[in-house]
Amino acid sequence: MSPENESPPNPAARAVLRDKFGFDGFRPGQERLITSVLSGHDTLGVLPTGGGKTLCYQIPAFMMDGLVIVVSPLISLMQDQVDRARKLGLHASSLTSQDPKESQQRTEAAIADGTLDLLFCSPERLEAARLRTLLGKAPVSLITIDEAHCISEWGHEFRPAFRRIHRLRSIIAAPVLAVTATATPAVRDDITQVLRMTDPFRVVTSFDRPNIRWLVARSRAGPDRIRAMVRLVRGAPPECRERALIVYAPTRRLVVAVRRALASLGVIGDAYHAALPSEERQAVQQRFMSGESNVVVATCAFGMGIDRGDVWAVFHYAFPGSLESYYQEAGRAGRDGAQSMALGFVHRDDWKVPEAFLDRAYPRPRDVLKVLQRIESMCSRGSVVSPTALLGPGSDKVPHLKWLMRSGAIRVDPTLSEWIDNWPDREEGEPPAVSGPPVTPTGSAPDLRPLVAARRQAVGRLRAMQRYCGRRGCRRMALLRYLGEVPGRRSCGSCDRCERRRSPAALNQPA
């Protein structure tokens, strides 16, 4: 199937869309993706935020005989996905560490007897021998990877299990569907290669969001940014007052500080970050989705699965470390098609935070070798390499251990290895107790070439984000070109660089 040619209408899929979902027509790209999947093809879909990616595996779950597996990066979102699927009439369940043992047993029994339509699980869970045995005997019709950009962006950094999903294909003869909202041409190629897709059918819809005004304002961090946001909120048109606002900040400390500062000036909202107890995170998300709360100040942890359509603005107190992340976060504005804005503040001092994140995720190879030397020295003296002693305050050596594990230079107790692989989600906790030696050197020279390549890619993404903030041309066209789309024009007329008039008076001089 050629991605350039439109597929003919699919009457059966349209009937399910109407009868089960109550929609009269598909959004751009959906029908082509579904038709490809139903034809048994490996398929890659890049649909915009709010483009209806979940429907592209829910309709096949209604139409195909057998189980549809959905690999999702965030356990916290799976129960919501399960609940929505069940309301549609699908037999859906999840397998996560947070599910009660009795629930897990019922799910495994449903897989075994073939009564389950949808199974949500993490890539790490797919590596469990018990589940693989069950799935190898089950009638699986489709393997779906949701938020598939994680294979390329997170797989190098935090979640190596994403890059091992392809091993499932040796025991399951089913097509693969990978869907995401943001992927450059290089990331798309990486996804198809890592998943070992065979002649994949690709559907890439336009990344252009013409109802979003893209704005950048130069301002030092602190009260000026808070006052600018408050002025925009107070000066928003009346129709925006019942709509939602998301404010992104790069660190947990800043999330708390920005929320307090906004509240002190009358903009009341919730704070959301990964260190909050799971019950509180779920409560914040529920209040936002129900409309009880219209303002959330959050880290990037608030995003996947947030499909509220009436977000009138997304403010970035500071920009993230890549244009991919920025586009996904800012793209949560205006999903209902109404006019909206994406505003980010920038100052040269802001880049210290993403640079620190980069160094933490992709440490310099010489620093990784120093950790290896310390491990070898401790072992040569007969000392047990205690995780607590080795990791030090703030667990700042966890990424070093990750790269040493992947390079084959150290062996790590399986329990500790899982903790290290999932460390960003658990960084507030202590390393788990293990029965045997936690960390031992193998004597093999570490191959750090993957780290060097991943660090180079991360630096390139950060530099692209910096160029976007400092550019003098059209911001919308710059975003489209970066994401691999050839714009049909040179300017948009609705970004701060194209508008003849200056950006709203609440903003300082644009960057």
Question: Which pLDDT value is given to residue 153?
Answer: 62
DSSP string, 13-28: HHHHIIIII--SSPPT
Name the H helices within 213-322: 223-234, 252-264, 278-290
pTM: 0.85
Angle between helices 449-470 and 150-157 (to 10 degrees): 120
For the chain, give the number of residues.
Answer: 511
Q: How far apart are CA 326 and CA 184, in angstroms?
A: 13
Q: How far apart are CA 134 and CA 125, in angstroms?
A: 12
Phi, psi of 283 (to 5 degrees): -65, -40
Domains 11-204 and 212-348 share a fold: yes
Question: Which CATH number is associated with domain 212-348?
Answer: 3.40.50.300
Q: Which residues of the chain have pLDDT under 70?
A: 1-7, 50-51, 76, 153-159, 304-305, 384-395, 422-431, 435-436, 500-511
Question: Which pLDDT value is given to residue 233?
Answer: 95
Count other C-beta atoms under 10 Å from residue 218's C-beta.
15
Question: Which pLDDT value is given to residue 186?
Answer: 87
Q: How far apart are CA 165 and CA 54, in angstroms?
A: 19
> What pLDDT digit, counting tens, does each position of 467-498 carry?
999 988 899 999 999 999 888 777 888 899 99
Count other C-beta atoms under 10 Å from residue 194's C-beta.
19
Parallel, antiparallel, or unpaired for β 410-412 and 439-441?
Answer: antiparallel
Phi, psi of 230 (to 5 degrees): -65, -40
- Cβ partners under 8 Å of residue 171, min gap 6: 132, 135, 136
Parallel, antiparallel, or unpaired for β 118-121 and 270-272?
Answer: unpaired
Using CB atoms within 10 Å of the CB of residue 107, give its burial: 0 to 12 exposed, 13 to 18 middle, 19+ buried.
buried
Question: Which pLDDT value is given to residue 23?
Answer: 92
Count other C-beta atoms under 10 Å from residue 497's C-beta.
20
Q: 217 has which bridge partners?
A: 345, 510
Q: 510 has which bridge partners?
A: 217
Closest Cα to residue 366, out of 460, 443, 461, 455?
455
Question: Which pLDDT value is given to residue 422?
Answer: 64
> What pLDDT digit, counting tens, does each position of 260-287 carry?
999 999 999 999 998 888 789 889 988 9
Q: How far apart are CA 373 and CA 368, in angstroms?
A: 9
Closest Cα to residue 332, out of 209, 185, 493?
209
- CA 43-126-130 angle, to 5 degrees, is 135
Q: Decide: 248 and 329 in contact? Cβ < 8 Å.
A: yes
Using CB atoms within 10 Å of the CB of residue 469, give its burial: 0 to 12 exposed, 13 to 18 middle, 19+ buried.
buried
Tell me which H or E stretch contains 180.
strand 176-180
Domain chopping of the chain, boundaries:
11-204, 212-348
- CA 232-238-242 angle, to 5 degrees, is 90
Question: Which pLDDT value is given to residue 179?
Answer: 94
Count other C-beta atoms under 10 Å from residue 422's C-beta.
17
Longest dimension (CA), the chain: 72
Count other C-beta atoms under 10 Å from residue 23's C-beta.
13
Question: Which pLDDT value is given to residue 59?
Answer: 96
Question: Which pLDDT value is given to residue 5?
Answer: 42
Q: How far apart are CA 246 and CA 297, in angstroms?
A: 6
Q: CA dist 278 to 9, 273, 294, 425, 426, Å?
A: 43, 10, 20, 11, 12
Question: Which pLDDT value is given to residue 499?
Answer: 83
Q: 202 has which bridge partners?
A: 44
Closest Cα to residue 439, out of 471, 413, 409?
413
- Compute the chain's Rg from CA coordinates: 23
Q: How far apart are CA 45 and CA 195, in angstroms?
A: 14
- Under CATH, what is the fold of the domain 11-204? Rossmann fold (3.40.50)
Count CA atoms closer than 13 A to 22's CA, side-chain side. 2
Question: Which pLDDT value is given to residue 388?
Answer: 63
Q: Decide: 209 and 483 in contact? Cβ < 8 Å.
A: no
Looking at residue 211, what DSSP letter applies? T
Q: How far apart are CA 52 and CA 59, in angstroms?
A: 11
Using CB atoms within 10 Å of the CB of residue 420, give its burial: 0 to 12 exposed, 13 to 18 middle, 19+ buried.
buried
Closest Cα to residue 373, out of 412, 346, 400, 352?
400
Using CB atoms within 10 Å of the CB of residue 293, give its burial: 0 to 12 exposed, 13 to 18 middle, 19+ buried.
middle
